[in-house]
Structure 1
Amino acid sequence: MATTINETLTYPGATVAQVAALATDPDFRAAVASYQHALRSEVTVTPAGNGQHVRFEYAHGTDRVPSFAKKLVGDEIPIIQEESWTTPTHADLVVTIPGKPGDMKGTADIEQRGDDVVQVVKLTIKVSIPLLGGKIEDLIAGLLSKAMRAENKVGIKWLAGEWQS
């Protein structure tokens, strides 16, 4: 069994170019990590063919994680989010939690819809742990969805010139 995330993140009044630039801006990603109270974060952006590769590493504390999951993850949850932007508007995503079983893969697409730009993120989460896999998939799905919505919130303020770190 696997769990799927489908998030549509709206950027009112933005352009595709503006939202695409956010995805590969290390300063923006650092602001997102700060907003989410990440324990630490690091972003690297490197050219890859005609696109760019983004590696966003961050770690969250486990103060809001259910006790059954704390036994599996420890004191923090390190996350590595890798994005291969093959065009300015399409990325293949791979999210890993180092040292933990699981597989998270998907896509991100940026498109104009009327006056707004949307980023559509689709991820499939698979955790192969007998009995607990489904619960952990749901937990990870919730954490990743919350992280995407936080990134959207920061992005809207960032594009409006209202972001203050």
Structure 2
Amino acid sequence: MGANGNLPFMPSRFEHRASFAAPVDTVYATLVDKAFLTARLNDLGGKGAALLDHRTSDNGAELRLRQGVDAQRLPSAVRSILSGDLIVEREERWRGHEADGRATINGVPAEIRFRDRLAPKGDGTELTVAAEVRVSIPLIGGKIEKVVAEQVTRLLEAEAEYAEKWLAEHA
């Protein structure tokens, strides 16, 4: 039982994998490249998308992005608790070929935590994203978590396709 006598909130977990033909170092360099991130946000990021912070060093990279989804494109379960468009702020901290990240959603007591890992796969690279979504709303939080997980999976698929095309054109 939670502190208030209710059952504790259990996050929804999911995993997403994407493969790239390029080697790990090339994929990493692309995923943290300012020009790539800006282009991806312009093409896929929705309303108000922006690269809010971008820092790279020999130790890794730190990114902060904002992405938007038009309210009309959201499932009714999400629209019912959100006034207006969905705005997601996402932070990633890369160290080597792994990143820890966190995303929050405006107006919703929700958080997405994730870990990205790049690893060699044959002549290319596999990106694995392990994530959990937690929505702290009694009774309907679990349903919203599933919707958020589905939407995040679609976004990750679109971002992976975008990265693969970018790599083919720029690597």
Question: Would you say same fold, with TM above 0.5?
Answer: yes
1:109/1:121 contact within 8 Å kept: yes
Mapped to 1, the partners of 2:127 and 2:31 lie a distance apart of 10
> What is aligned with 1:161?
169
Mapped to 1, the partners of 2:54 and 2:33 lie a distance apart of 8
Mapped pair 1:51 → 2:60: yes
Q: TM-score w.r.t. structure 2 length?
A: 0.86
Identity of aligned residues (%): 27
Mapped to 2, the partners of 1:31 and 1:150 lie a distance apart of 13
Aligned AA (1:56): L
Q: 1:96-107, aligned counterparts within 5 Å?
A: 96-107=104-115
Mapped pair 1:131 → 2:130: no
| DSSP 3-state at the match of 1:131 | coil
> What is aligned with 1:145?
153
Mapped pair 1:35 → 2:43: yes
Gaps of 5+ in 2: 1-9
Gaps of 5+ in 1: none
Mapped to 1, the partners of 2:79 and 2:160 lie a distance apart of 28
Q: TM-score w.r.t. structure 1 length?
A: 0.89
Tell which structure's C-alpha radius of gyration is larger: 2
Mapped to 2, the partners of 1:68 and 1:113 lie a distance apart of 39
Q: 1:95 aligns with which of 96, 99, 103?
A: 103
2:31/2:163 contact within 8 Å kept: no
Deviation at 1:15, TM superposition (A): 1.0
2:110/2:136 contact within 8 Å kept: yes
Q: 1:113 aligns with which of 121, 126, 134?
A: 121
| DSSP 3-state at the match of 2:133 | strand
C-alpha offsets along residues 112-152 of structure 1, whole Å, 9 cap, x if unaligned? 11122011001111111011101110111011111111111
- Closer/same/farther in 2, CA of residues 98 and 64 from structure 1, 3 Å limit: closer
- More contact order relative to length (CA 8 Å, sep ≥ 6): 1
> What is aligned with 1:25?
33
Deviation at 1:48, TM superposition (A): 6.6
Aligned AA (1:67): S
> What is aligned with 2:5?
none
| DSSP 3-state at the match of 2:72 | coil
| DSSP 3-state at the match of 1:100 | coil
**Alignment coverage as a number of residue pairs:** 160
Mapped pair 1:15 → 2:17: no
Mapped to 1, the partners of 2:69 and 2:126 lie a distance apart of 26
